Amino acid sequence: MSALPEPVLAHSYFMDTPSFKGRLWRRPEYDRAAATRMAQAHGLPEMVAALLTARGVPQAGVEAFLTPGMKDFPDPSLLAGMDAAASEVAAAIMAGRRIGILADFDVDGATSTGILTRFLRSAGAGEAPLYIPDRLSEGYGPNNKAFEWLKEQGCDWVLIADSGITAFDPIQHAVDLNLKTVVLDHHEAESRLPLATHIINPKRADDTSGFTMLAACGVAFLFCVALNRALRAAGHYKNGRVEPDLRQWLDLVALGTVCDMVPMTGPNRLFVKAGFARMARRENAGIDALLSVGKINAVPDPGHAGFVLGPRINAGSRVHHSDLGARLLATEDREEAMRLAWLLDDCNVKRRAMQKDMVAHAAARVSAFGYDGDPVIVLEDPEWHPGLVGLVAGDIKERFGRPACVIGFADAADGGREGRGSGRSVAGINIAEALIAARNDGVLVKGGGHAMAGGFTVLPDRIKDFRDYMKAHIGRQAQSLPPHPESAVDLVMNVRGLTIDLARLVHGAMAPYGSGYVEPAFVLSDVMVVHADIVGGSHVRCTLRDRDGGPTIKAVAFRAVDTPLGRFLLKDARDCAVPVHLLGQVQINSWQGRESAEFHISDGCTGYV
């Protein structure tokens, strides 16, 4: 193995002037002595110890962080209300009560559905009636129609996954229908809670588990663990009934956890590591079908989840039927799974084309109306597809470096029209807090979500009020932020140091990455762009070399063609032979059985360090 670069970490700015994206690159604080002790105690390369130390991983927790095992499995009983919910639902199963499922239409909801459906089926509770609200006509979360339909199916209990924590009126309607409900959610909770029979949410004010990093699929999985334990204690598996092995569904937990972009800390690291090892067996009919349709023959990893599996699962609710993804992940029929996977693939092709047009239109409107100076960009258009507003909001946020809310329109329950919106935020701005406040103050019909993403419903005549409200609320939050957003820099190095050994180390024991534990960011300092061209219509492909010569490395800047970074790489860097500093991540490129290091560029800057 070739020598790895020495860590170059300090608490300082790499450059005094903003980058192409208007950001300052900051080297994080780093205790070299603590990293040295960690490296010696655990036999780690100095670079790995430095990165872990900079990310706040304590020496005592290194083993559980890098190589989590079943001994690190979280105890479901730590979640507030878990044991009581499991005990009562176990009694309902043994009494022959019918249990239905109501879940969100995204990947987290679909994987939660797959876990719950498969567990109930395996535990002898029968086939659970499933209701996934239509993204366009019903929007996010439980509603009266959903509970009425589940009641008509003979349900006595309803498990509500990935939603419900703020569904006060619909859950009251469920109570009126004599339905018992269990909320399995992870979204931000308020001081008051809906009148569900049981509520399992690590973000409840009275929950002391510390599991706030969990996605809904993680909450649903832990509920199944607790429920299985309660059934075992009650004698449900006596007389020849086979107890299910819940580890078989860790692939679903891993998929939902990665796609919902929750923090990659605590139990999530175990779920993802163990889950992708399970996914490699391709036992789940739905996941196997999606991998086949997506032409993934390699061992699946989080990148495949985020860029191949997740978009296809989500595409069904965006442009077709909201329950397609959930049905795919719940079925054990491989023929049906393949049919659904191809249908979702077709939906994804349509989604991509529609999204491209919407993003172009939205970006043009930002410039035309001068919204790029607002603390939050709020855009609406009657022609925009409500199922794609979240994706467009994410693109606008990335392009302009500030929170964005994008609104499409759909038919409301009263026969009128209503705006269906989605928001995406930046570090330091809690968009869910703003949306919840807007709802509580009567500006929105519905609103909520996470710090970084949220959804809402707004009446057409309140959109101006909503824009003004969000500008004021987000503006107040932004006052505490520095004038220029910052990007963390972990290592400064040259092209020679960007080896396949380094790439394997970064994507080996140190992985997986996500919110709360981001992938290491490297700066290739003072490099020359030897070649650059456009690939895929919007990406810039480059060949890089150190200024003083030496080997080259392949690099790519995704969706960069119409950005200052892309224009520099394609023209100025080559025509003027200008050296550049590039920020990005090292990746492993596999081609015809050979592996090489590749650099994925996220930003750049010129000038002297």
Instruction: State the pLDDT at residue 18.
Output: 87
Same domain as 444, residue 500? no
Average pLDDT over residues 95-106: 98
- Please check the confidence at residue 5 and state whether its pLDDT lies above 70: no
Residue type, 54: A
- Nearest CA to 473 among 554, 375, 346? 375
Confidence of residue 92 (pLDDT cuts 50, 70, 90): very high
Same domain as 334, residue 295? yes
Same domain as 134, residue 236? yes
Same domain as 495, residue 474? no
For residues 290 and 277, the answer to whether their CB atoms sit within 8 Å is no
Q: Which residue has the higher pLDDT, 150 or 70?
A: 150
Q: How many domains does the chain have?
A: 3
Crossing angle for the helix pair 216-233 and 82-94, nearest 10 degrees? Answer: 60
Query: pLDDT tens for residues 285-310?
Result: 999 999 999 999 989 999 899 999 99
For residues 288 and 308, the answer to whether their CB atoms sit within 8 Å is no
- Please check the confidence at residue 458 and state whether its pLDDT lies above 60: yes
Residue 568 DSSP class: I
Q: Per the domain annotation, does 408 fall within a domain?
A: yes
Q: Which of 441, 458, 478 is the last residue of a domain?
A: 478
Instruction: State the pLDDT at residue 142.
Output: 96
Q: Which of 452, 478, 504 is the last residue of a domain?
A: 478
Same domain as 228, residue 277? yes
Measured distance CA(485)–CA(481) in Å, rounded = 8
- Please check the confidence at residue 148 and state whether its pLDDT lies above 60: yes
Q: Per the domain annotation, does 57 fall within a domain?
A: no
Q: What percentage of the chain has pLDDT greater than the value 90?
A: 73
For residues 224 and 243, the answer to whether their CB atoms sit within 8 Å is no
Query: pLDDT tens for residues 39-90?
Result: 999 998 888 888 888 888 888 889 888 888 888 899 999 999 999 999 999 9
Query: pLDDT tens for residues 151-197?
Result: 999 999 999 999 999 999 999 999 999 999 999 999 989 899 999 99
Same domain as 552, residue 524? yes
Burial of 213 (0-12, 13-18, 19+ CB in 10 A): buried
Query: pLDDT tens for residues 482-500?
Result: 777 788 898 888 999 899 9
Q: Per the domain annotation, does 386 fall within a domain?
A: yes
> Peptide bond before 142: cis, by omega within 30 degrees of 0?
no
The CA distances from residue 320 to 90, 135, 136, 388, 500, in Å, are 36, 9, 10, 12, 42
Q: Per the domain annotation, does 33 fall within a domain?
A: no
Strands in 12-13's sheet, in edge-to-edge order, are 12-13, 24-27, 486-488
Q: Per the domain annotation, does 67 fall within a domain?
A: no
Average pLDDT over residues 494-512: 89
Query: pLDDT tens for residues 314-362?
Result: 999 999 999 999 999 999 999 999 999 999 999 999 999 999 999 999 9
Instruction: State the pLDDT at residue 449.
Output: 86
Query: pLDDT tens for residues 564-577?
Result: 999 999 987 777 77
Instruction: State the pLDDT at residue 15.
Output: 66
Same domain as 178, residue 240? yes
Confidence of residue 213 (pLDDT cuts 50, 70, 90): very high
Instruction: State the pLDDT at residue 384.
Output: 95
Instruction: State the pLDDT at residue 167.
Output: 94
Confidence of residue 147 (pLDDT cuts 50, 70, 90): very high
- Please check the confidence at residue 609 and state whether its pLDDT lies above 50: no
Q: Per the domain annotation, does 511 fall within a domain?
A: yes
Average pLDDT over residues 237-249: 93
**Phi, psi at 104, each rounded to 5°:** -70, 165
Measured distance CA(38)–CA(512) in Å, rounded = 20
Q: Which domain holds residue 387?
A: 370-478
The secondary structure of 24-74, three-state, reads EEEECCCCHHHHHHHHHHHCCCHHHHHHHHHCCCCHHHHHHHHCCCHHHCC
Q: Per the domain annotation, does 95 fall within a domain?
A: yes
The overall average pLDDT reported for the chain is 92
* Count of beta carbons in the 10 Å neighbourhood of residue 561: 18
Same domain as 209, residue 148? yes
Instruction: State the pLDDT at residue 400.
Output: 87
Q: Which residue has the higher pLDDT, 3 or 438?
A: 438
Instruction: State the pLDDT at residue 14.
Output: 66
Same domain as 418, residue 473? yes
Same domain as 496, residue 474? no
DSSP string of 204-258, one letter each residue: STT--S--TT--HHHHHHHHHHHHHHHHHHTTTT-TTPPPP-GGGGHHHHHHHHH
CATH number of the domain at 177, please.
3.90.1640.30
CATH number of the domain at 522, please.
2.40.50.140
Q: Per the domain annotation, does 355 fall within a domain?
A: no
Chain center to CA of 325: 16
Confidence of residue 607 (pLDDT cuts 50, 70, 90): low
Instruction: State the pLDDT at residue 1.
Output: 40
Q: Which of 330, 345, 360 is the last residue of a domain?
A: 345
Instruction: State the pLDDT at residue 32.
Output: 86
Same domain as 246, residue 123? yes
Q: What percentage of the chain has pLDDT greater than the value 70?
A: 97
Residue 378's Cβ-side half-sphere holds a number of Cα atoms within 13 Å equal to 23
- Nearest CA to 220 among 163, 298, 170, 273? 163
Confidence of residue 12 (pLDDT cuts 50, 70, 90): low
* Count of beta carbons in the 10 Å neighbourhood of residue 70: 8
Same domain as 295, residue 217? yes
Instruction: State the pLDDT at residue 13.
Output: 61
- CA torsion sign for 299, 302, 307, 312 is positive
